[in-house]
Structures are given as C-alpha cells and as structure tokens.
Chain A
Amino acid sequence: MATTEEIRAQLAELVNDVAGVPVEDVQLDKSFVDDLDVDSLAMVEIIVGCEEKFGVTIPDEESKNLKTVGDAVAYIEQHS
C-alpha cells in the first residue's frame, strides 16, 4: 500500500505531464483550478491518468468533488 506522500508524488508527476505545473507546487492543500491553473479539459486528463496510474475508477459525478490535490489523494487511498 502506497503512502500518502508516494501517491502525492506520483500525482504531481501526472499533473506536470498534463499541465506543466512544477511537481513541487502540487501539494495537498492546493486547488487544481484556483492554485494550479488546471483547466477543465486538463482536469479530465488528470482524472483518467489517475485511473490508469492507481487502478481506481473515478466516476464523472465523483470527479467533480476532487477540488484539491488532497481530495484526489484521499479518494485514491480509499478506493485503491
């Protein structure tokens, strides 16, 4: 079972790949939209990327609730 920090670090790589955000900026308290400037289509890519990377399923209605990096990490921890 991956630690919270390991999941955050892998997610940071994904966000960097999709949206060019520096990995060190992708911290648990950051909002994807407000802090990291991730737009709605890039967010779709991040969600799908999480499904591939972590082997979870994130339904569209759930993905709307993943506002911060911490929200996404917690969802992955609970569902992987």
Chain B
Amino acid sequence: MKAAPMKDIVITGMGATTPLGGDLASTWQAMLAGESGIVEITEEWAPDLPVRIAGYVKVDPSEKIDRVKARRLDRNTQLALIAAEEAWLDAGLGLGEDNPIDPETLAVCLGSGIGGLHTLLGQWDVYKERGPRRVTPFTIPMLMANASAANVGLLVNAAAAVHAPVSACASSNEAISLAVDQIRLGRAGIVVAGGTEATIHPLPIGAFAQMQALSRRNDDPAAASRPWDKGRDGFVLSEGSAVLVLESLEHAQARGAKIYGTIAGAGVSDDNHDIVQPDPGGLGQSRAMEKALRNSGLQASDIIHVNAHGTSTPQGDMTEAGSIRRALGASADQVVVTSTKSMTGHLLGAAGALETVATVLALKERLVPPTINLHDPEDGLSIDVAANEPRPLPEGDLAALNNSFGFGGHNVAVAVTNANVTR
C-alpha cells in the first residue's frame, strides 16, 4: 500500500448495545453465529399496524441506568450512554475522578437520525390528556437532536467540542467522518464517535410502512431482513447504539493504549437526486467510496471487504451492488461483501457506527460475519456476498469499507484497516 496522505486515526475502544446483545462481545458472537435480533412486537398498539416486527435492544437500558437518571433521559440517550461507557472503559479509561484525559483535547461526535422521539410523542400525549402544566420540564433537553451527544460529553468530560451530525441513516458514519477531521485538524486528540437510535413506536413504524419501506414478513421475523435475496420486501426497524473511541496515533501511543485498527479515512457525498429514493444509477454512492479511498491513501485493490448499507429493500440493495462494483472496478472481484443488517435490522442513525465496529472486528478477527437469509440471490448480483456463513479473510494487511446511506441522499463510506497495516 502506498503512503497515506493524511495521518491515520486509531481505534482504541468500542462499545455497543444492540438487538443481538447488551454489549459488543455478545453482539459480535451473535453476528458470527448468524443469529437474528428481529422479533414480533407484542405491545398493545401493534395489531393496528401492517408491520408488527422490530429489533429491540437485547438488554433493556433500565438494567444499566437507574430510575431517577432515566427519568431525565430519552431512551435514545440511555442507549448512547451505555455504549459510550463500554467504549470508554474498553479504551482503558476511567470516569469521574479516574478520568485521565484533558477535557480540552476530548471531543464527541455522535449522531442520531431522529433524536428523542419517545419524549416528543410521549409528552405531546401528556399535553393533550392533562394540559401544558403536566409536561415535564425536561422535555426539551430530552428530545433535542443533540441530547445524546451532549450527555455523552458530560459522561466523559469532553470540553473540546460536542457535535451531533444528523443525516438520517448515514448519521453515525458522518459522525465518524467528522471525528477523523477533528483529529486531523488538531482540534482534538481523542474523540468519542458513534450513533444512537430508539424509534420503535407506532408513529414511525406506521409512517415507514406508508412509504412501503418496511418488511411485512410478520409471520417469520427472523427471516424478514434478507439483503439481496429475491424474497426481500423492505427493511426492519431496530434500535440500539454503537460507539468508538478514536485517537491520533501519537495520543494513543503516549498513553500506551491497545489498538484495534485504524480509521484510514472517509468519503462523503450526496446523491442530489430525490429526498428518499437513491439515485438508481448509484453514482453518489460510488463517489463516496471513491472519496474514502482517496482520503485514506488506499487503492481499490487494497479493499478486501465491504460492510454494505444493504437494508433489504428491493431497489437499494441492487443499486449498492452496482455502486460497489463501479467504485472498486475489477478489484470488486476479490471483495467479500456482507450486510449485518440481515441480523440486526436497521438501526437508522446508529447503523453506521455499529457496522463500522463490525468491520473493525472482521478485519481484526479475519472473519466476515454472514448475511443471513440469503438463499435465493437476486439475478445478476455482481458482488460476492458472505451468504449465511462467516467468511475467513487472508493473513496480512487488510482494508475495508463501511457504507451508510440516508434519506436526503447522504452517502458516507468509512475506510478501516487492521492494526498492523504499514503504508
């Protein structure tokens, strides 16, 4: 691999709470085992809806966040705090008096596609039923789109900056891209980056269903998310959070941190085509991947793995397959593609961070998690997907891309390498 034009950012800590597990280790084990986190919705409102399946976090946040604290935090933020604390401790760092990091060098970049939805809708219910005097005074700091980023900032004591990028389902990949920029620009030495989402509520499910965006395989939840399979009929809404601790190499080495791998760079583009439909030609998606390669100093031939956006929608999956092939050219033949959404469902604004974490672990463990439910691949599928079984990766230096695309035409590709890459 040739010399990088800009310095690498190293990954020193990771955490997650997902439909597959209450922490990253259990989530990763479930991914390798090809488990599905999708279940039937049993809440009293479900029978009214055409879609009655979703991916709830495996461990409810009430098991980790005490009741009084939880009253002031939207579920979206509770999940972020759980993932962020796991990542921070995993990085070998302490909290409170045991926190060794200079706050002025610490930033947070943590995105959410929608924000404090349960608070917004729940307090509107309170207002309508009991009047404005009964609305909690915590409503605004709970529902605001930056609430999770700001609360994570308070948790880890970040004073350099706190950012909350919002770009629908690309939000947390954009957060990682922004974190890379902040470190390269010298604005921070260490950044807590990731995403969170908690929108399992009848309104968004009903609204996504009205767009014909969701799978209606209500009788078989575990088989509902099936990227590139001919039987796919839409994505499955899930909740959760994933967070990474990113540092400049010098910052990590100065404190003797363990290193999982690097974020070599990122590429951002916009389709500029339609507010919800991806450009069917996939040009914007390809541009994001090409920019990620240039930003990282990587060649297409360096890429061995792509964690695709792959949401299990009829149009989106095949558009992305074409985009990957266009961006990587003949090198696409050697690339193992997967969509971990086949198991997790779609975490919207948290998807990019969770899938970046999965990409980092795939390179570190040299094992790509499978795309489950792929039994009847779409005709003309031009990419090699790790269907139903994990796929081993070769020895040596490895590089991969993680794609996230969002309503609004947002495309963000993050380039990851394993820890031993020397360029």
Contact = CB atoms under 8 A, between A and B. Distances in A.
A45 to B, nearest CB: 6
B136 interface: yes
Most buried by A among B67, B68, B69: B68
A17 B133 CA distance: 18
Interface in A1-40: 18-20
Given A19-B68, A20-B68, A41 B133 contact: no
Nearest to B136: A45
B74 to A, nearest CB: 15
A71 interface: no
A48 B133 contact: yes
Nearest to B71: A18
Contacts of A48: 133-134
A77 interface: no
B137 A44 contact: yes
B223 to A, nearest CB: 44
A19 B69 CA distance: 8
A48 B137 CA distance: 10
Nearest to B69: A20
Contacts of B136: 45
B127 interface: no
B143 to A, nearest CB: 14
A44 B139 CA distance: 12
Interface in B125-171: 133-134, 136-138, 141
A41 B71 contact: no
How many of chain A's residues touch chain B, expressed as a range? under 10
How many of chain B's residues touch chain A, expressed as a range? 10 to 19
Given A48-B133, A51-B133, A41 B68 contact: no
How would you classify the secondary structure of chain B's contact residues: helix, strand, loop or mixed? Answer: helix
Most buried by A among B133, B134, B137: B137
Interface string B352-383: 00000000000000000000000000000000
Given A18-B71, A19-B68, A20-B68, A41 B134 contact: no
Contacts of B69: 20
A20 B67 CA distance: 8
A19 B67 CA distance: 10
Nearest to B141: A41
Most buried by A among B66, B69, B138: B138
Contacts of A18: 68, 71
Contacts of A20: 66-69
B141 to A, nearest CB: 8
A48 B276 CA distance: 43
A45 B68 contact: no
B221 to A, nearest CB: 37
Nearest to B138: A41
Interface string B41-83: 0000000000000000000000000111101000000000000
B68 to A, nearest CB: 3
Interface in A42-56: 44-45, 48, 51-52
Contacts of B138: 41, 45
A20 B71 CA distance: 10
A45 B138 CA distance: 9
B130 to A, nearest CB: 9
Nearest to B130: A52
A45 B72 CA distance: 11
Interface in B67-104: 67-69, 71
Given A48-B133, A48-B134, A52-B134, 10 more contacts: A18-B71, A19-B68, A20-B66, A20-B67, A20-B69, A41-B138, A41-B141, A44-B137, A45-B136, A45-B138
12 contacts: A18-B71, A19-B68, A20-B67, A20-B68, A20-B69, A41-B138, A44-B137, A45-B136, A48-B133, A48-B134, A51-B133, A52-B134
Closest 4 CB pairs of A and B: A20-B68, A44-B137, A41-B137, A41-B138
